[in-house]
Structure 1
Amino acid sequence: MTDARPPGADEAAFIAAVRSGDAARFALITERHRRELQVHCYRMLANYEDAQDLTQETFLRAWHKRESLRGDATLRTWLYRIATNACLDFLDKRNDRIPVPFELPDPGSEVPHLQPYPDRMLPEDPQESAVARETIELAFIVAVQHLPPRQRAVFVLRDVLGWPASQAADALELTVASVTSALQRARVTMRRRLPGRRLDWRSPATHELSDDERGVVKSYIDAHERNDLDGLMSLLREDLRFAMLPAPGTLVMTAEEAVDGWVSGGLFQRGRDDWRGVATTFNRMPAAALYLRSPDDPEYRLFAIAVLRVVDGKIAELTGFDAAGRPWPGLPPTLSVVADVTAE
């Protein structure tokens, strides 16, 4: 998403708002960039709620620094620079966000603050949407979290947004040589974290779900609603990677081990066997929102979100998120007994 356009009408309107002190006009102009900045913050932080907060912090900083926008940069570039540094300041203050060394066993699992990103909040800009799936899938987001913060920023600015080295160096107050070195190290880590995955982030990429993916989500929900454990087991690969956030740890297990583990944890047992599911998408990936009804409850309540990676018609990775008692964008907190809901 290289932004090489010369400053134009957007910047002229912004500068006019700054000169007149028109805060409302300033907010209207910058608001157009909210969704893409929020995705940028999410890539940096892996947490949807933090991305919302840091996007708002970006707009506050932009207002306070409004006089610093000159005619040598576009408004979008200027806002991305502010957002990137706001995220870096946030990471500098959070000891719980220190990357786990790659050498530890299965470091990809140690991102307990990971949250899924609702597709309906993704940018509507066609150019940004074209690369969204490649750069917002959970595996990519987790891999990015294992880069040190400034290396992470360099990687996102250079290889995701397509900024030239000089522009990234200026934004991060680094030398071009430092940016080049950081990018080389980041690419090595990303290749190790995503073996066999597509690594050309700036090329056009599909973000539509395949028929296989849609079919697997439907079958996954049907198996829950029928308490069909054999059917559920048949959907899982024998080398399933499973995680349930916020609990740390990704386990590799057989389909039978996965289902047996869920049953031994109390699911599909009397009192926890009345399911409804909603097919949806998070992070441009197929997902199921699972609702559970207790015997005395007149409604099904949101219980968990399962984000799936489907390979050859089977679930290869299942990342679950505890969703009980909290709102999730685009999902109703409850379903009535007769409800038939499909989320987009």
Structure 2
Amino acid sequence: MGRSVLQQARGGSAAAFRELVEPHRGELHLHCYRMLGSLADAEDLVQETLLAAWRGLDGFAGRSSIRTWLYRIATNRCRNALRDASRRIPAEPVPPFAPPAPSRRAAVTWLQPYPDAALDRIVERAPDPAARYLSRETVELAFVTAVQQLPPRQAAVLLLCDVLDFGRTEVATMLDTTPNGVKGTLQRARASLAEHRETDVRDAVQGRVRPPAGGGDDAGAGDEWELARRFAVAFTADDIDGVLALLTDQAWLAMPPAPHEYHRATAIRAFLAASTRGRGGRRLRLVPTGANRQPAFGCYLDDRPGADDVPATFDGVLVLTPAAGRIGRITRFLDPSLAEPFELPVHR
């Protein structure tokens, strides 16, 4: 960062300010997403962060990097949003059919998926080696969901220390506390995170979260997509037995923002059967995409029952969580607004 660029920005140059902050926008967006669990809320908070940075640039003393300063602003804005009682929580959708009684009601109904294409752009553009790693386990839905259930201060400390690798002294400055305070909060956050994560992914949070050697993509990605392909064939054919054969014994089905969750084969079968009847002959179509470094599909529902040339409308995103060679979780996000961030057409 040239000092002249900072001086120009302080002098009111919007172009110089963009040069300072734009390299960090993507990673700030991901950080806010991890904190808040929502793409829409993350975008709002990034905008708030950059506006606050623009207005407060004269107060930037240069004792830290611009990146660290922006993370301080973003983290504290997210903490304020999490404490805000008026934070928008999506309304529970009314299903077009009578669903069976759920196994449980989810606590985190605002969760949204994060497009892999956006994650790839963050890795490509990150200016700092410390910002380049995107460990798969720190963007998977299970991790993001667990973070949502931590108190805001614990979530902030965990993400800053264990995901972004800031030092305790840096984090203490960001959060107006002491290094010892950060240490104690981090210990509590790690313990709470392990409690909230599901059994089949809990081993990923023992100790510090670290990226696997060689980057975020693992060698089993091809096998996972073959599993996803078999799922898509069965799912779009309404072959419920075929779907169930691909699931683990402890599999879950979830549908944010609906709170209904279904556990194990009997409950999942009952929901899939009711859903199939509720579509009234309209066919589901799946278009491959990627979300949170997991196999995913854009979901399209035929506008009316008919032949193959019937138009279909985007209905949300379906994300699969592989576990031990099978599928441990199906998360179907019932959110038509996801077409834009996933760069999918609304109609096809």
Post-superposition offset of 1:323: 2.6
**Count of residue pairs the alignment pairs up:** 318
**Alpha-carbon distance between aligned partners in 2 of 1:128 and 1:73, rounded to the nearest angstrom:** 15
Letter of the structure 1 residue corresponding to residue 334 of structure 2? D
Task: Pick one of 52, 69, 77 that aligns with 2:68.
Answer: 77
- What RMSD over aligned residues (CA atoms) do the two structures have, in Å? 2.5
Task: Pick one of 125, 128, 133 that aligns with 1:130.
Answer: 133
> Does 1:235 find its partner at 2:246?
yes
Letter of the structure 1 residue corresponding to residue 268 of structure 2? A
**Alpha-carbon distance between aligned partners in 1 of 2:7 and 2:253, rounded to the nearest angstrom:** 52
Task: Describe how 1:1-344 pairs up with structure 2 within 5 A.
Answer: 10=1, 12-94=3-85, 109-122=106-119, 123-124=122-123, 125=126, 128=131, 130-194=133-197, 195=199, 196-199=202-205, 200-204=208-212, 206-208=215-217, 210-254=221-265, 256-267=266-277, 270-272=280-282, 274-293=283-302, 294-295=304-305, 298-324=310-336, 327-336=339-348
Letter of the structure 2 residue corresponding to residue 144 of structure 1? V
**Alpha-carbon distance between aligned partners in 1 of 2:210 and 2:267, rounded to the nearest angstrom:** 39
Post-superposition offset of 1:277: 1.0
Post-superposition offset of 1:121: 1.5
Post-superposition offset of 1:295: 2.3
Tell me the alpha carbon deviations over residues 4-23 of structure 1, each in whole angstroms, 9 at most, x when there is no partner. Answer: xxxxxx26244222343212
**Alpha-carbon distance between aligned partners in 1 of 2:190 and 2:223, rounded to the nearest angstrom:** 31
Unaligned runs of 5+ in 2: 90-102
Unaligned runs of 5+ in 1: 1-9, 99-105, 337-344
Check whether the contact 1:279–1:287 (CA below 8 A) recurs between aligned residues.
yes
**Alpha-carbon distance between aligned partners in 2 of 1:30 and 1:303, rounded to the nearest angstrom:** 35
The percent identity for this pair of structures is: 37
SS at match of 2:165: coil
Post-superposition offset of 1:268: 7.7
Check whether the contact 1:301–1:334 (CA below 8 A) recurs between aligned residues.
yes
**Alpha-carbon distance between aligned partners in 2 of 1:203 and 1:333, rounded to the nearest angstrom:** 33
**Alpha-carbon distance between aligned partners in 1 of 2:212 and 2:29, rounded to the nearest angstrom:** 21
**Length-normalised TM-score, structure 2:** 0.83
Tell me the alpha carbon deviations over residues 156-193 of structure 1, each in whole angstroms, 9 at most, x when there is no partner. Answer: 11111111111111111112222111111111111222
Post-superposition offset of 1:116: 0.7
